[in-house]
Structure formats: C-alpha cells, structure tokens
Amino acid sequence: MRDLDQLTRDFSEHGFVLIEDLLVGNAKDELDSALTRFLEHIAPTMKKTERVHFSGWDGPVKSLGQMEDYDPFFAELPKRAEFLEIASALLVGEAIPFGVEYFARPPRNDAIAPSHQDNGYFCYKPPESLAFWIAVDEVTETNGGIGYASGSHRAGDLEHEFSGIHGFTQGLTDPEAQLAGYEEVMVELPAGGCAIHHSLCAHRSGPNPTDRNRRAIVLDYRTARAQRDQPRKDRQDAAVKKLLKEKGAGE
C-alpha cells in the first residue's frame, strides 16, 4: 500500500515525488514491449505534428505526442485505477488524463531538454496539472536523467520563450535567475520507476554520453478546473507552426 498522504505532503513541498516501483515485473516488461511495437509499426504513420525525429522525418524517434490516439494500450495506460488514485491525491481533485508522450535519449546522444515548466507548454489556468515521467530504462544523472528545481512550483507561472528546438520548443527566459534559490535534484530511477512532477516544477534533462539507452513515457493529468489560456496557447502554436513549416511539415 502506498502512503498517499505522505506522497501528497512531499509533492506539495518539493513539486515532485519519486515512486521507484510504479511498474514492476510483467507490468514493466509489458510497457517496454508496447513501446517497441509502437515505435516500429505506429510511429511512422503518425502526423508530423505529433512526432519528432533526431533528423528529418524518418529514422530514430526523438519524441512523440498523442500516443493515446493511436494505440489502445497507451489509451488505457493513464486510466489505470492506481495511477488515477495517485494523480487525484496529488492534484487534490479528480485527475483527468490528457496526453501520453515519449521522450528518447539513445546512447551517445547529445540532445537535451532546456529548463522549463510543463505549463509553459500546456498553458492551463489554474495550472492544476502534473506528469508521470516513467523510466522505461534505468535512469541516472549520467544517461540523460531529469533534474528538478526542488520547490520551484511555488515560484508561479514563469516566463518562457521559444527555444527553437524541435520537440522542446519552450524554455525559461533566464533559468539561472528564475530558479535562483531552488536546489536542483537529479533523478535516479530503476526501469519501471516514476517521477511525478507538478506542471510548475521546473526541470531539464541532459545529454546521454553513455552506452545505455534512456527511454521515458510521460502521462499527463489535469483537474477539471484547469482550462486553457487560449491566447497564450495560440501564441505558442504560431511559433511551433513556423518551425514545422521550415522543417517541411507545414501546409
């Protein structure tokens, strides 16, 4: 049994919590197999707005969005009773799943995720949302692990700017100044472990110079109170549309 009260207190204090045994045994292997199958058979058929490759429009995938629209396994994954119970406790309100994503960091890969709050992408008001970042492979500081600015969810909605990085288009305008005073905690998790972060808890991830793969599946949840700030989202979408057009995916 998980101590949801303790998890909720830790989440409220730090803006993130770790659950090392979210998926174990068969459940962990099942996720690995479903992802492998998805990458091979489904990812190449996805809309270009929902997939990012390390270069061009085929070859290794860097990230994916909207996986729930393409595969029943990924549609059902965020609806598991245990996940909904944890997400609802941490959000202090009924959790509604709204996205399933994939982030790859293959061996000897120098991609990074710039420091950001997820709400820099989601644009929810109030920003009542969180993400389950599930490690499909063991993750450490050395193979592209996430670093959280502990407590930064209390800093409020920070200003973001367009990063120009396809797949990670939003970054904090001045992370050093914006996150001054918040200690960075680097995440270490076994395969099947999970970091859950508030959408205002700033985080980043580094490159993977190791020989080990680092794949992650992300499940996004919000409350019914969280509504899109549409003008903010429209400004962001316009910048992304321009980038996609430059990359040959615009209309």
- Of 17, 134, 216, 217, the one binding ligand AKG by CB under 6 A: 216
| Residue 46 to residue 63: CA distance in whole angstroms | 12
Question: Is residue 205 within the footprint of ligand AKG (CB under 6 A)?
Answer: yes
Question: Is residue 131 within the footprint of ligand AKG (CB under 6 A)?
Answer: yes
**Could you tell me which of 211, 192, 193 has the C-alpha nearest to residue 32?**
192
- In whole angstroms, the minimum distance from the beta carbon of 204 to ligand AKG comes to 7
Integer-rounded Cα Rg, in Å, for the chain is 17
Question: Is residue 16 within the footprint of ligand AKG (CB under 6 A)?
Answer: no
Question: Is residue 103 within the footprint of ligand AKG (CB under 6 A)?
Answer: yes
Between 70 and 103, CB nearer to ligand AKG: 103
Report how many helices (DSSP H) and strands (DSSP E) the chain contains, helices first: 7, 15
* Alpha-carbon dihedral 179, 152, 118, 107, rounded to 10 degrees: 70
DSSP state at residue 207: -
- Of 91, 123, 194, 218, the one binding ligand AKG by CB under 6 A: 218
Between 9 and 91, CB nearer to ligand AKG: 91
* Residues in the chain, overall count: 251
Chain positions contacting ligand AKG, by CB under 6 A: 103, 105, 113, 118, 131, 133, 144, 203, 205, 216, 218
